[in-house]
Amino acid sequence: MARTLFQKVWDLHRVRTLSNGQTQLYIGLHLVHEVTSPQAFAELRDRGWRVRAPERTFATLDHIVPTQAQVRPFLDVMAESMTEALERNCREFGIPLFDLASGRQGIVHVIGPEMGLTQPGMTIACGDSHTSTHGAFGAIAFGIGTSQVRDVLASQCLAMTPLKVRRIEVTGRLASGVYAKDVILTIIGRLGVKGGNGHAYEYAGEVVDRMTMDERMTICNMSIEGGARIGYVNPDETTFQYLEGRPYAPTGADFERAKTWWRGLASDPGAPWDDIVVLDGSKITPTVTWGINPGQSVGVDDRLPEPGAAPAGERAGLAEALEFMDFRAGQPIAGTKIDVAFLGSCTNGRISDLREAAKVVAGHKVSPHVRALVVPGSQSVAKAAEREGLDEVFRQAGFEWRGAGCSMCLAMNPDRLQGREVCASSSNRNFKGRQGSPMGRTLLMSPAMVAAAAVAGEVVDVRSWMAEPAGAHA
């Protein structure tokens, strides 16, 4: 019988039905970071449990690490104490920790794939909602809370209920200047921030087939912003090429055997998807959020919605967003002045993102009123960028070049907005207060659009920007 990848992977990891009716699911890879794990380790200790599978557990530091002055002890005493707690927990329970000295530290969703820890057919859990990122490899990957982190540490299992699967096919070809970020913002704009509740999203279609792994990670990453706890892409040659030679990937004859197994996990033709949504990729334009959730977006050449024209149930939310952002219904998004430009995050902090942004800023200067920073997603991304001279391109343009971490995506380190600042951000959430100032304002967009906004000092259409010769905007 034809099955989806979700069903195949679920069935392979299903242990039994628990007495309460939930499914006990084996977890193949557990990723741990400093923010959602300390209470879980503390309970483990209280109950006298050990970590069941330390060899399937990997930790790093990302949320609270400063991106400047990375010398220990950190200036922020709470950041230092959380770091020390993770170091102590990893030491005591025998868990590998990719810390600042390892050369492999970075955002948990960037380092898992780049080390080859993330592989097709795995179940992957992490105490972070953007764990959906790893679905790009054809894994069933999802975020969990601290009590579930404790469960995975103690038992390598979770009590779960199965999800429906919605296939989202993006057809055609993307226009120049349109990126994976625009695709996922368009999908969330269309299906809504709660449209995916109860679902895993399976991304497919020509546009997704042609995407690189970095691009697939960007769309899977933001599945949770559409309410889908899981997003995935069926594994294919692109997946295998990416994995070959990575430190934790199988090698030699094992790699060939692995490819055969991985290929067989892809959804079968005619699999029983619960529903199928088709989007014309050629119609997607550079997309910018204007509101306080990632579903509130418009094409860069569009105008903000009129609450009065929206369905009755949505009017209050649109009006609240317009008021918070201090925008007017019907105003164009292009031309919105920005104060800060942030390049980074688990959504768009990989090397290809920095390359695209660097292409836009090369030969230009950041607008005098804009504070701009680049935060590579990992130490490996930073090193690769430095080898290619991207750090110099950014520095010469007036960007600050920082160390790896989550940084201004959620502002748990010193990088944060001030007051009412408006930030063009390559990250994933534009919630009120998300970037560290309770009244700060976030516009989500692709890295190339962030770069163009940094130079122009306002939201601009990167497509027209790319058509003009370097220097025209200097």
Partner 1 sequence: MSQASKITRVVGPAVAVRGDDIDTDRIIPARYLKTITFDGLGDHVFEDDRQQLRERGAVHPFDVPAHRGAAILLVQENFGCGSSREHAPQAIARWGIHAIVGESFAEIFFGNALMMGLPCATASRADLDRLMAASEANPALEFDLDLERSQLTAGDIAVPVTMPEAVRTSLLTGNWDATGLLLDRYEEVERVAAKLPYVSGWNVV
Considering only residues 82 to 141 of the shown chain, the ones binding partner 1 according to CB under 8 A are 82, 85, 119, 121-122, 127-129, 131
- Residue pair 282/174 in contact (Cβ under 8 Å)? The answer is yes
Rank residues 285 and 348 by Cβ distance to partner 1 and give the closer one: 348
CB of 1 to partner 1, least distance (A): 20
Which listed residue (28, 231, 349, 447) binds partner 1 by CB under 8 A?
Answer: 28
12 is an interface residue for partner 1 by CB under 8 A: yes
CB of 198 to partner 1, least distance (A): 7
CB of 393 to partner 1, least distance (A): 31
- Tell me whether residue 467 is exposed, middle or buried, using C-beta atoms within 10 angstroms of its C-beta: 0 to 12, 13 to 18, 19 or more: exposed
Secondary structure (DSSP) of 155-194: HSEEEE---EEEEEEEES-PPTT--HHHHHHHHHHHH-TT
DSSP 74: P
CB of 429 to partner 1, least distance (A): 7
Q: Which range binds partner 1 by CB under 8 A, 39-47, 232-240, 275-283, 389-397?
A: 39-47
Handedness of CA 27, 31, 36, 38 (dihedral sign): positive
Which listed residue (385, 397, 411, 450) binds partner 1 by CB under 8 A?
Answer: 411
148 is an interface residue for partner 1 by CB under 8 A: yes
- Residue pair 48/19 in contact (Cβ under 8 Å)? The answer is no
Helix, strand, coil in percent for the chain, rounding step 5: 40, 20, 40
Q: Which range binds partner 1 by CB under 8 A, 145-153, 233-241, 334-342, 464-472?
A: 145-153
Rank residues 80 and 302 by Cβ distance to partner 1 and give the closer one: 80
Run of H or E residues at 382 = helix 379-388
Rank residues 42 and 362 by Cβ distance to partner 1 and give the closer one: 42
Handedness of CA 273, 274, 279, 281 (dihedral sign): negative
408 is an interface residue for partner 1 by CB under 8 A: no
Q: Within positions 323 to 382, which residues make up the interface with partner 1, using CB under 8 A?
A: none
**Rounded Cα gap, residues 472 and 395, in angstroms:** 19
194 is an interface residue for partner 1 by CB under 8 A: yes
Q: Which range binds partner 1 by CB under 8 A, 28-36, 105-113, 167-175, 447-455?
A: 28-36
Rank residues 437 and 446 by Cβ distance to partner 1 and give the closer one: 437
CB of 65 to partner 1, least distance (A): 12
Which listed residue (8, 30, 109, 150) binds partner 1 by CB under 8 A?
Answer: 150
**Rounded Cα gap, residues 285 and 186, in angstroms:** 9
| Tally of residues, the chain | 474
- Residue pair 382/353 in contact (Cβ under 8 Å)? The answer is no
Rank residues 15 and 69 by Cβ distance to partner 1 and give the closer one: 15
User: 327 — alpha (psi -120 to 50), left (phi > 0) or beta?
Assistant: beta
Q: Within positions 277 to 306, which residues make up the interface with partner 1, using CB under 8 A?
A: 293
Strand 157-160 and strand 97-98: the pairing is unpaired
Which listed residue (1, 16, 308, 312) binds partner 1 by CB under 8 A?
Answer: 16
Rank residues 327 and 431 by Cβ distance to partner 1 and give the closer one: 431
229 is an interface residue for partner 1 by CB under 8 A: yes
Which listed residue (154, 329, 362, 384) binds partner 1 by CB under 8 A?
Answer: 154
**Rounded Cα gap, residues 312 and 329, in angstroms:** 16
56 is an interface residue for partner 1 by CB under 8 A: yes
DSSP β-bridge partners for residue 422: 441
